[in-house]
Amino acid sequence: MMDQHPGLELAHSFLIAAEELSFRRTAERLGIDQSALSRRIAKLEHQLGFQLFERTTRQVVLTPAGRSFYEAGAPLLAGYDRAVATARRVAQGKTGLLRVAYMAFAAIELMPRVVKRFRAANPAVELALRYLPTQEQKLALSEGDIDLGFMIGPFEHSDFDSRQLASDRLHVFMPRGHPLAARRSVAPRDLAGEDLLLGDMAEWEAYRSHLGEKFARAGVPVAPRQEASSTMALLGLVAAGFGITVYPRQLTGLIGTAIVSRPIADPAFHIETVLVRRRIDRAASVRRFIDCALDTVRPASAETKKRDAH
């Protein structure tokens, strides 16, 4: 017996022949002629060192060794076929694991809408959702710890592909009885001297940087009275009368009766949400998720622009 193991093509040909017990039908299933099949079986028998079939002019039967080899080999080949089919679905983006990170703003409205659409179209793909601030997402993407990230934009880098999904107007959130609540909109200068509540630098570094730049251009100094690490904590402080906060428009859907919001009347006071992947990552599931995200925001983009214009 030779040390070389038979290849899958030879083993597959044998298993089909063992099922059919007809070289003619086996050749038809394999799409080859009978002489080519006979050569494959002969080569396999030579490599194994024992006979697999007894052939006469009238019938084909398995030898005892051939029967044993078939009974052991059939499950192995079925497992191989399942492995190939599973890997093919992963390659097509129809199954597998997709790791998606999101920052606070995306968690309220955008990310859930995209995830709902993606799950409906790709039920076999497992989604692992993870909250990460924007700066941490960039590191996690570069190290391959996540596949996609909803983060604050813009983000331009040669190693990453970035798609803008939203540009949301910033609003001032304040207690219902606050003097600014009587206005339809608020100018940046109106916030000078107000008790400002902002997310802390550990969790909100990217947003604080963007917000600081916008206030600096408007000539308004930013000195938060109080910092907090979560959106709900900021809203709680606003409701308790500690001060006001600045947040994207979508938070208006979560505020209670004790809080009101007014848009900031300055076109610079918008915040972008982008979806980012590594350029080298061309997995089909990543492309499918990006397509779902773009399809999700397209119908709403015109309505958002119309609403922000008022």
5: pLDDT strictly greater than 60: no
- CA 74 to CA 5: how far, in whole Å? 16
Per-residue pLDDT band for 110 (boundaries 50, 70, 90) equals very high
Nearest Cα to Cα of residue 289 among 83, 157, 105, 96: 96
pTM of the model: 0.69
Report the range of poorest mean pLDDT among 9-13, 120-124, 268-272.
Answer: 9-13
Residue 43 scores a pLDDT above 90: yes
- The CA-atom distances, in angstroms, between 157 and each of 53, 153, 162, 168, 279 are 63, 12, 8, 22, 10
Return the pLDDT at 76.
77
Question: What pLDDT, in 10s, does the model give residues 48-106?
Answer: 899 999 988 788 999 999 999 888 877 877 776 666 666 666 665 555 899 999 999 99
Across the strands, what pairs with 257?
Answer: none
Is 70 exceeded by the pLDDT of residue 6? no
Task: State the chain's mean pLDDT as an integer.
Answer: 89
Q: How many CA atoms lie within 13 A of 45 on its CB side?
A: 15
Q: Rounded to an integer, what distance in angstroms lies between the CA atom of residue 162 and that of residue 93?
A: 20
Extended strands (E) in 20-159: 53-55, 60-62, 96-102, 125-131, 148-153
Q: pLDDT tens for residues 258-299?
A: 999 999 999 999 999 999 999 998 888 999 999 999 999 987
pLDDT of 303 strictly over 80 = no
Query: Which tens digit of pLDDT belongs to each residue from 205-217?
Result: 999 999 999 999 9
CB-based burial label for 139 (10 Å; 0-12, 13-18, 19+): exposed
User: DSSP string covering 59-88, please?
Assistant: -EEE-HHHHHHHHHHHHHHHHHHHHHHHHH
pLDDT value of position 179:
95
Going by C-beta distance under 8 Å and a sequence separation of 6 or more, which residues neighbour residue 221? 192, 215
Position 301 scores a pLDDT of 52
